[in-house]
């Protein structure tokens, strides 16, 4: 067991280890998990009473912190009224309210809302929409997806098929996930103009294969799990122009970046053409949609995409999960969006960004640190080589913080409501750990 776990813990760690799968773990060589008993604000309380400052927002989701009374109240009320009902042939006000809000805050072209149940499913839905759209436009040969390396879009089969082709999932599942086209990841950094060659490969691929390509999918501005790489908004502008030129749909996957994380409500807002944001034909949102209180994701699309799907031989969009439009999740999302609308999240993010830039800067001088970068409420220390996640996690817990490094990345994306003192605790721990790596 991790050394902070008291033998008297109320959590049955042995059962957990023997029977319960955690993300990306082995069931026979399971690494012990930490037991959390409660969470409040930006703090997680472990079973032994130790309190950790959370640097993860539980994987980008809990932007308002944990146990926020406004979201809890809304969910409790909803639970007592209508916790779930099938969405086939039935509608309800939480779904309508949420969809109204989403249509109102996303770019004007996005008018249709599909309420999915997780981020990966939102991506599946987006890919299916693109393929079915072209069937409806009598171009059913357009069935392949073009994307960039170092991308991450989820763990289900279609989502995996557009993840980084050099990652394990591709090599492991072979032909089932290798039918799509990849070009190099954007090289132009966020704060730099577009490198002149950066879109060349994309253009070349579109010139030769556009008649088979249904859509380009990309994470706007930040490639997350594929390397925490921030790229130039001009890349996105150029990509939109290429998609228009070659008659290919653009799918933006904002599942990690959506709802304020990069300093804009949506990351695509960093990229504007003549004062107008780059517009997706299809947009995927998830994670922070409900403030991290319950699973929900959405795929939004334009009227044109919806019309194409209606014109396809099936005539309807062929997707409809059991928990589609779950009212409890929709109500939580409405409460979370209301908080974003009231709160000064833009100032909060600016303050977090400013502080992280100052506090993390010095890490660049440590021997094994390759790069330090900050955008919005995301702070990254990139190491020269892969770190030992389990070992570092224990070190972070000993330092009183919850940070989960992966690959060669030590990074944080804290709740927006984090205090300056809590943030310093996180950045100090990051630096301490990065400095100790030799």
Residues that bind ligand PLP (CB under 6 A): 118-120, 123, 152-154, 219, 224-225, 253, 255-256, 286
Shorter beta-carbon distance to ligand PLP: residue 165 or 308: 165
Shorter beta-carbon distance to ligand PLP: residue 114 or 246: 114
300: Cβ contacts below 8 Å, ≥ 6 apart? 102, 103, 106, 110, 111, 112, 113, 114, 282, 283, 285
Shorter beta-carbon distance to ligand PLP: residue 160 or 277: 160
Of 403, 108, 129, nearest to 268 (Cα)? 108
438: Cβ contacts below 8 Å, ≥ 6 apart? 367, 368
- Give Cα separations from 58 to 66, 243, 387, 415, 434 (angstroms): 10, 34, 20, 9, 22
Distance of CA 85 to the CA centre of its chain: 27
CB of 3 to ligand PLP, least distance (A): 29
- Do residues 153 and 163 make contact, with C-beta atoms less than 8 angstroms apart? yes
CB of 420 to ligand PLP, least distance (A): 27
Q: Please indicate if the annotation marks 168 as binding a ligand.
A: no
Q: Please indicate if the annotation marks 152 as binding a ligand.
A: yes
Q: Catalytic site residue 24?
A: yes
CB of 117 to ligand PLP, least distance (A): 9
CB of 18 to ligand PLP, least distance (A): 25
Shorter beta-carbon distance to ligand PLP: residue 46 or 375: 375
Q: Please indicate if the annotation marks 402 as binding a ligand.
A: no
Q: Please indicate if the annotation marks 208 as binding a ligand.
A: no
Q: Catalytic site residue 253?
A: yes
Q: Please indicate if the annotation marks 108 as binding a ligand.
A: no
Of 400, 438, 373, 338, nearest to 68 (Cα)? 338
Q: Which residues pair with 284 in a beta bridge?
A: 253, 299
Residue 398 has, within 13 A of its CA and on its CB side, a CA count of: 10
3-state secondary structure of 211: helix
Active-site residue identified among 24, 175, 274, 365: 24
Q: Please indicate if the annotation marks 345 as binding a ligand.
A: no
Of 241, 243, 267, nearest to 253 (Cα)? 267
Active-site residue identified among 101, 149, 287, 431: 287
**Among all residues, whose Cβ is closest to ligand PLP?**
119
3-state secondary structure of 147: strand
Active-site residue identified among 47, 54, 101, 152: 152
Q: Catalytic site residue 47?
A: no
Shorter beta-carbon distance to ligand PLP: residue 118 or 188: 118
Shorter beta-carbon distance to ligand PLP: residue 120 or 427: 120
- Do residues 153 and 118 make contact, with C-beta atoms less than 8 angstroms apart? no
Q: Please indicate if the annotation marks 50 as binding a ligand.
A: no
SS (H, E, C) 295-334: CCEEEEEEHHHHHHHHHCCCCCCCCCCCCCCCHHHHHHHH
Q: Please indicate if the annotation marks 320 as binding a ligand.
A: yes
Q: Catalytic site residue 371?
A: no
Active-site residue identified among 253, 264, 281, 425: 253
CB of 324 to ligand PLP, least distance (A): 15
Name the token pair of 342: 């009231």
CB of 297 to ligand PLP, least distance (A): 6
Binding residues for substrate: 59, 152, 287, 320, 404
Binding residues: 59, 119-120, 152, 253, 287, 320-322, 404
Which positions are annotated as active-site residues?
24, 152, 253, 287
Binding residues for pyridoxal 5'-phosphate: 119-120, 253, 321-322
């Amino acid at each position: 067991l991790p050394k902070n776990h008291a033998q008297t813990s109320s959590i049955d760690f042995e059962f957990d280890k023997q029977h319960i799968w955690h993300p990306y773990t082995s069931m026979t060589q399971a690494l012990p998990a930490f037991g959390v008993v409660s969470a409040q604000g930006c703090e997680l309380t472990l079973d032994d009473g130790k309190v950790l400052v959370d640097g993860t927002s539980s994987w980008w989701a809990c932007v308002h912190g944990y146990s926020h009374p406004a979201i809890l109240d809304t969910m409790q009320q909803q639970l007592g009224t209508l916790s779930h009902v099938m969405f086939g042939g039935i509608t309800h006000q939480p779904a309508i309210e949420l969809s109204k809000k989403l249509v109102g805050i996303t770019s004007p072209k996005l008018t249709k809302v599909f309420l999915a149940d997780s981020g990966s499913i939102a991506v599946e839905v987006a890919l299916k929409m693109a393929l079915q759209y072209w069937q409806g436009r009598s171009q059913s040969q357009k069935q392949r997806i073009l994307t960039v390396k170092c991308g991450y879009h989820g763990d289900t089969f279609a989502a995996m098929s557009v993840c980084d082709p050099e990652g394990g999932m591709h090599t492991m599942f072979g032909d089932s996930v290798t039918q799509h086209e990849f070009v190099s990841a954007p090289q132009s950094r966020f704060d730099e103009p577009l490198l002149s060659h950066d879109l060349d490969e994309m253009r070349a691929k579109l010139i030769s294969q556009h008649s088979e390509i249904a859509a380009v999918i990309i994470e706007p501005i930040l490639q997350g799990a594929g390397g925490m790489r921030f790229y130039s908004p001009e890349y996105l502008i150029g990509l939109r122009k290429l998609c228009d030129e070659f008659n290919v749909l653009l799918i933006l996957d904002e599942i990690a970046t959506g709802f304020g994380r990069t300093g804009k409500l949506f990351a695509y807002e960093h990229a504007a053409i003549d004062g107008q944001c780059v517009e997706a034909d299809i947009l995927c949102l998830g994670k922070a949609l409900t403030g991290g209180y319950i699973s929900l994701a959405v795929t939004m699309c334009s009227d044109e995409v919806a019309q194409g799907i209606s014109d396809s031989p099936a005539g309807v969009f062929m997707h409809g999960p059991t928990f589609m439009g779950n009212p409890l999740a929709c109500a939580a999302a409405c409460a979370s969006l209301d908080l974003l609308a009231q709160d000064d999240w833009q100032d909060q993010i600016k303050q977090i960004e400013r502080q992280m830039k100052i506090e993390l800067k010095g890490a660049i001088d440590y021997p094994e640190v390759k790069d330090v970068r900050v955008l919005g409420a995301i702070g990254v220390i990139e190491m020269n080589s892969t770190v030992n996640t389990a070992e570092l996690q224990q070190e972070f817990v000993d330092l009183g913080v919850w940070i989960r490094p992966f690959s060669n990345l030590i990074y944080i994306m804290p709740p927006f409501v984090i205090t300056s003192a809590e943030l310093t605790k996180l950045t100090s721990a990051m630096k301490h750990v990065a400095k100790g790596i030799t």
